[in-house]
């Protein structure tokens, strides 16, 4: 089955264009947009890890190594589309327009971190595995019923494909031919469990067969391939042809979270042969005349300044409202919870 789903590439590990059909489609604006956004989210990611180690941020899920998959797919979205991320897809949501300050607040346990900017349909990150896939299918169905051209994208890891919600989401989307893209980032591990120990399928893309939808396998470290293949899937969705399952084969460089030690389950040499997605784009830019040293330095300074300003805003944010713990759990607060809230507020007044 693996040979039926070859990994699609546009540029190889050395930054050489291997699919010449895209030669006239690729331009400087697109290349620089992809590179800038990868640089931006990597700067954010590394800063977040440092903040967590300093005790200034809560437990954090890093994504270094997956920048191409997140940026390439997010830039293929249109303004009114829907994004259903996991806890590791803040790179995609930042690319789609989520506030960096609010993203930092999310990792400090603040309810404000789940609020998207006005005019952006971004659901809060799904921590339970695969629960966001039926939601993405439902939102897409609503857009279809309304007669719009809006679509949704659901991000998830390889471990999610072993959950019931994965199958329910894909089955529903297939039956009703809704405009949704199921975007899997296969980084080889479901926390500490390697892919071969949690499924017998050689690929994730082949799981599309059971639901009568196209399955595409792409090099998730090739940002151009991610962008164009995701765009094709969205075009198909907007044209009324239903959902697509994309498997982006990538690599999570670091730990599952900052509370994890990958050396316990991953050999040190594993993944060393994988060319970093940003390095690959840099090689491509140098090979084809898109590299501009001055522009690169300006973008590094710009992203660093943005990150530092967002950190300052996050740390100077008004103190959290303790009532948020009670008010955002149920549509109608149960009596027992209401009593707990009343008791706690009375305790605060006595202090």
Active site residues: 252, 256, 265
Rounded CA-CA distance 23/25 in Å is 6
Write the burial class of residue 289 (CB in 10 Å: 0-12 exposed, 13-18 middle, 19+ buried). exposed
Q: Which long-range contacts (CB under 8 A, 24 or more apart) does 162-168 make?
A: 162/190, 162/198, 162/199, 163/129, 163/130, 164/130, 165/129, 165/130, 165/131, 165/133, 165/134, 166/130, 166/133, 167/210, 168/133, 168/134
CA distances 31 to 182, 290, 339, Å, are 24, 8, 56
| Strands of the chain, DSSP E | 82-84, 121-122, 152-157, 180-186, 189-190, 193-194, 215-219, 244-249
The candidate with the shortest Cα–Cα distance to 86, out of 216, 310, 231, 73, is: 73
- The DSSP output letter for 257 is S
Instruction: Say if CB 189 and CB 266 are below 8 A apart.
Output: yes
Rounded CA-CA distance 308/310 in Å is 5
Rounded CA-CA distance 296/36 in Å is 8
Torsions phi, psi of 29, nearest 5?
Answer: -60, -45
């Amino acid at each position: 089955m693996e040979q039926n789903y070859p990994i699609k590439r546009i540029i190889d590990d050395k930054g050489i264009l291997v699919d010449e059909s895209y030669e006239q489609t690729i331009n400087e604006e697109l290349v620089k947009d992809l590179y800038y956004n990868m640089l931006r989210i990597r700067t954010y990611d590394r800063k977040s890890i440092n903040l967590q180690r300093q005790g200034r941020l809560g437990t954090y899920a890093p994504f270094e190594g997956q920048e191409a998959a997140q940026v390439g797919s997010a830039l293929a979205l249109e303004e009114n589309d829907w994004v259903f991320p996991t806890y590791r897809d803040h790179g995609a949501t930042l690319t789609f327009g989520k506030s960096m300050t609010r993203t930092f607040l999310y990792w400090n346990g603040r309810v404000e971190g789940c609020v998207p900017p006005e005019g952006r349909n971004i659901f809060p990150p799904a921590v339970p595995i695969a629960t966001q896939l039926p939601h993405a299918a439902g939102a897409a169905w609503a857009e279809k019923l309304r007669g719009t051209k809006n679509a949704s994208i659901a991000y998830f890891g390889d471990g999610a494909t072993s959950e019931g919600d994965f199958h329910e989401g894909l089955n529903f989307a297939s039956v009703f031919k809704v405009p949704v893209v199921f975007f899997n980032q296969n980084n080889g591990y479901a926390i500490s469990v390697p892919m071969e120990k949690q499924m017998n399928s050689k690929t994730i893309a082949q799981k599309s067969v059971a639901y009568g939808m196209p399955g595409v396998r792409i090099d998730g470290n090739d940002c151009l391939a991610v962008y164009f293949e995701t765009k094709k899937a969205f075009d198909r969705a907007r044209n009324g042809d239903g959902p697509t399952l994309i498997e982006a084969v990538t690599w999570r460089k670091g730990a599952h979270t900052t509370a994890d030690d990958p050396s316990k389950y991953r050999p040190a040499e594993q993944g060393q042969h994988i060319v970093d997605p940003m390095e690959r784009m840099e090689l491509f830019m140098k090979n084809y005349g898109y590299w501009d040293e001055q522009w690169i330095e300006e973008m590094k300074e710009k992203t660093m300044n943005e990150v530092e300003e967002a950190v300052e805003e996050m740390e100077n944010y008004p103190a959290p409202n303790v009532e948020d713990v009670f008010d955002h759990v149920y549509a109608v607060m149960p009596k027992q919870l209401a009593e707990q809230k009343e008791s706690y507020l009375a305790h605060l007044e006595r202090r």
